[in-house]
Structure 1
Amino acid sequence: MTASTTDAPATHDPGLSRRTLGVPSITLMIIAASAPLTVVAGGVTTSFAVTGSLGVPLGFVVIAVILTVFAVGYTAMGRYITNAGAFYAYISQGLGRPIGVGASLIALVSYNAMQIGVYGLFGFQLSMFLEAKFGFSSPWWLWILLCIVVVGVLGVNRIDFSAKVLGVLVALEFLVVIVFDVVSLAVAPEGVTATTLNPAELFGPSLGIVLVFGVAAFMGFEGAAIYGEEAKDPKRTVPRATYAAVAIIGLFYAFSAWAFSVGIGPSNIVAKSQESGPDLMFVFMNSHVSVIFVDIMNILFLTSLFASLQSFHNAVARYFFSLGREGVLPTWFAGTSKHGAPWAGSVAQTVIALVVTIGFIFSGEVFGGAAALGEQSFLYPVLTMFTWLTNTGAMGLVLLMAVIAAAVIGFFRRDRRGLGAWTTIVAPLVSGLLLAWVFVMIIANFHVQLGQKEPTFGTYVLPIIVVLAGIVGVVWGLSLRRRKPEIYRQIGHGTEPGAYGTELIGVVDER
Structure 2
Amino acid sequence: MSVTSPKTAPPSAAPAGLRTGSLGTSDIAFFVVSAAAPLTVMAGVAPIAIALGGIGAPAGYLLAGLTLAVFAVGFTTMSRHVKGGGAFYSYITQGLGRPAGIGAALLAMVGYNGMEIGVYGLLGSATQDTVHALFGADVPWLPVSLAGLALIWYGGFRSIDFGAKLLGVLLVAETGILVLLAGGVLLKGGAHGLSAASFAPGNVLVPGTAAVLAFAFAAFTGFESTVIYRREARDPDRTVPRATYIAVAFLGLFYAFTVWIAVQAFGDADVVKAAGSDPANLFFTAITTFVGGWAADLMHVLIVTSVIASLLAFHNAINRYGLALADEGVLPRSFARVHTKHRSPYVAGLAQTALGAVVVLAFWAAGADPYNQLLLWVNTPGMLGLMALQLLAALAVPFFFRRISHSEGRARTFWAPAVATVLLGAAIVLVIGHIDLFTGASPLANWIMVAVAPAVFLLGFPLAHRLKTRRPEVYEAFGSK
TM category, shorter: over 0.9
Partner Cα distance (2:429, 2:301) in 1: 37
**Aligned equivalents of 1:445, 1:398: Cα separation in 2:** 15
Cα separation, 1, equivalents of 2:254 and 2:221: 15
> Structure 2 matches for 1:111-260, cutoff 5 A?
111-185=112-186, 186-260=188-262
Q: Distance in 1 between matches of 2:251 and 2:136?
A: 36
Q: Is the 8 A contact 1:90 1:404 kept in 2?
A: yes
What's the counterpart of residue 373 of structure 2?
Answer: 384
Shift of residue 390, structure 1, vs aligned partner: 2.3
Aligned-partner Cα distance in 2 for 1:451–1:458: 10
CA contact (8 A) 1:21 1:230 kept: yes
- Whole-angstrom CA distance in 2 between matches of 1:178 and 1:171: 10
Cα deviation digits, residues 459-506 of structure 1 (max 9, x gap): 121222222211222221221111111111211111xxxxxxxxxxxx
- Unaligned 5+ segments in structure 1 are 1-9, 370-379, 495-511
In 1, Cα distance between equivalents of 2:267 and 2:405: 51
Looking at structure 2, the residues matched to 448 and 133 of structure 1 have their Cα atoms a distance apart, in angstroms, of: 29
Q: CA RMSD in A?
A: 1.6
Moved more, 202-211 or 53-62: 202-211
Q: Is contact 1:43-1:214 (8 Å) kept?
A: no
Residue of structure 2 equivalent to 1:427? 416
Structure 2 unpaired stretches of 5+: 1-11
One-letter code of the match for 2:452? I
Alpha-carbon separation, structure 2, partners of 1:96 and 1:112: 24
Cα deviations by residue, 1:303-356 (Å, 9 ceiling, x for unpaired)? 111100100111111111110111112222111111321111111111111011
User: 1:158 Cα deviation (Å)?
Assistant: 0.4
Contact 1:208 1:438 in 2 (8 A): no
* Aligned residue identity for 1:394: M
Query: 1:13 Cα deviation (Å)?
Result: 2.5
User: Would the aligned equivalents of 1:100 and 1:474 in 2 still touch at CA under 8 Å?
Assistant: no
Q: What CA distance in whole angstroms lies between the structure 2 residues aligned with 1:11 and 1:355? A: 37
Q: Which amino acid aligns with 2:358?
A: V
Cα deviation 1:372-411 (Å, max 9, x = unaligned)? xxxxxxxx21111122222222211111111101111111
Aligned counterpart, 2:454: 467
Q: Kindly state the Cα deviation for residue 218 of structure 1 after the two structures are TM-superposed.
A: 0.8
Q: CA 1:90 to 1:303, structure 2 compared with 1: closer, same or farther past 3 Å?
A: same
Mapped contact 2:53–2:207 kept (Cα < 8 A): no
Q: Tell me the residue number matched to 1:509.
A: none
- SS of 1:204 mapped into structure 2: coil
Within 1, Cα distance between the matches of 2:387 and 2:165?
A: 28
User: Residue by residue, what CA displacement relative to the aligned partner does 1:77-112 show, whole Å, maximum 9, x if unpaired?
Assistant: 100112332001110111111111101111111111
Quote the offset at 1:187 in angstroms: 4.8
Residues 1:491 and 2:457 aligned together: no
Corresponding residue for residue 437 of structure 1: 426
Normalising by structure 2, we get a TM-score of 0.94
Residue from 325, 346, 349 that aligns with 2:349? 346
Runs of 4+ in structure 1 displaced over 6 angstroms?
A: none
State the Cα distance separating 1:423 from its structure 2 match: 0.6
Query: Which of 273, 276, 300 is the equivalent residue of 2:275?
Result: 273
Q: 1:356 — aligned with what?
A: 359
Aligned to 1:448: 437
- Larger deviation, residues 184-193 vs 149-158: 184-193
Identity score, percent = 38
Q: Is the 8 A contact 1:39 1:217 kept in 2?
A: yes
Change (3 A) 1:293 1:206: closer
**1:397 is the counterpart of 2:386:** yes
2:57–2:198 Cα contact (<8 Å) kept:
yes
